[in-house]
Amino acid sequence: MANKANGNILRLALPKGRMQEGVFALLHDAGIGISFSERHYRPTISLPGFETKILKPQNIVEMLHFGSRDIGFAGADWAAELNANLVQLLDTGLNPVRVVAAAPKAILRNGKLPARKLVVASEYERLTQAWIRRNKMKATFVRSYGATEVFPPEDADCIVDNTATGDTLRAGQLEIVDVLMESSTRLFANPQAMKNRQKRKAIDKFIMLVQSVLDARLRVMIDVNVPANKLEQLVNLLPCMRRPTIAPLFGEDAFAIKAAVPKDQLPILIPQIKAHGGTDIVVTAPDQLVS
């Protein structure tokens, strides 16, 4: 692979296409600026010591595997499809999809594929062939190059494709018959980059910044006042990261409590806080949380 030797510069790959918006927003929330010049596919980020390039997610997996990129964002589906030797650093949870097998309802028997020779179309050759072998199917594989859902019923009996909501499959009157895997946008690294001391330091700092945003998106900050005689009860109620911050209120036998709590627990937690003597409740969204 060409251009491997770049010293301790960390070579970051950012995704092109539908993944890009989510990844760019993640970096923005982490305080990492991205600027473009006339070389649109080679943006500059505000972290020193990084060389950045925009590639298709499939190519990011390949370049990480071969070592021309050190770290990059790509889907777990393509890492599995290409059988790449990578280290997964983070699951961002962005762009969640399932890789599924689907077929026209008309050919199904009790929701299952018929026991005859089938034609299966997919962009995922390795995953599909493994699925065919695993299920001991009599099937011919046909490689698609996008728009896989249009193959049935004339050109394929079944497809293997990724789906987020299932809307496209339903529009094509296709029914899911199996789930091969679940995928999302992950941050991967080349194993050799992880063994380089200088690059590993930069990677760890990058992970910390990105993880701080992912953690912050799951939590909110609650500020609440409570009488002294109900302090312990209320503190024990709060599902905070470690322990809450507590400060006495001026001129009162009461305390102010500040804690980072899971966002999805708010509908239950706020009524409980009120029932335990909490007042003046303020909820704010943090940009980053570093434990």
Structural domains in the chain (count): 3
Q: What is the pLDDT along the chain (291 residues), one digit of tens a residue?
A: 444 445 689 999 999 988 999 999 999 999 999 998 766 889 999 999 999 999 999 999 999 999 999 999 999 999 999 999 999 999 999 999 999 999 999 999 888 999 899 999 999 999 999 999 999 999 999 999 988 999 999 999 999 999 999 888 988 889 999 999 999 999 999 999 999 999 999 999 999 999 999 999 999 999 999 999 999 999 999 988 778 999 999 988 999 999 999 999 999 999 999 999 999 999 999 999 887
* 198/88 same-domain check: yes
Residue 35 CB: number of other CB atoms within 10 A?
Answer: 8
Q: Which two tokens stand for residue 138?
A: 């009599």
Among 198, 216, 234, the domain-final residue is 216
* 61/89 same-domain check: yes
Among positive and negative, which fits the CA dihedral 195, 199, 200, 206? negative
For residue 75, give every residue at least 6 positions away whose Cβ sits within 8 Å of its Cβ, in sequence order, or none: 19, 57, 95, 97, 183, 184, 185, 186
Which single residue is written with the structure tokens 């909110």? 220
* 75/110 same-domain check: no
* 84/197 same-domain check: yes
Strands 97-104 and 174-183 turn out to be antiparallel
Q: Is residue 2 part of a domain?
A: no
Range of the domain at 75: 10-94+185-216
Coil, strand, or helix at residue 228?
Answer: helix
CATH assignment at residue 49: 3.40.190.10
Residue 4 CB: number of other CB atoms within 10 A?
Answer: 10
Q: Is residue 5 part of a domain?
A: no
* 49/160 same-domain check: no
Exposed, middle or buried by CB within 10 Å (0-12, 13-18, 19+), for 180? buried
Instruction: Return d(Cα 101, Cα 81) in angstroms, integer.
Output: 15
* 135/267 same-domain check: no
Instruction: Return d(Cα 82, Cα 145) in angstroms, integer.
Output: 16
* 47/62 same-domain check: yes
Q: Is residue 290 part of a domain?
A: no
Which single residue is written with the structure tokens 């627990």? 265
CATH assignment at residue 242: 3.30.70.120
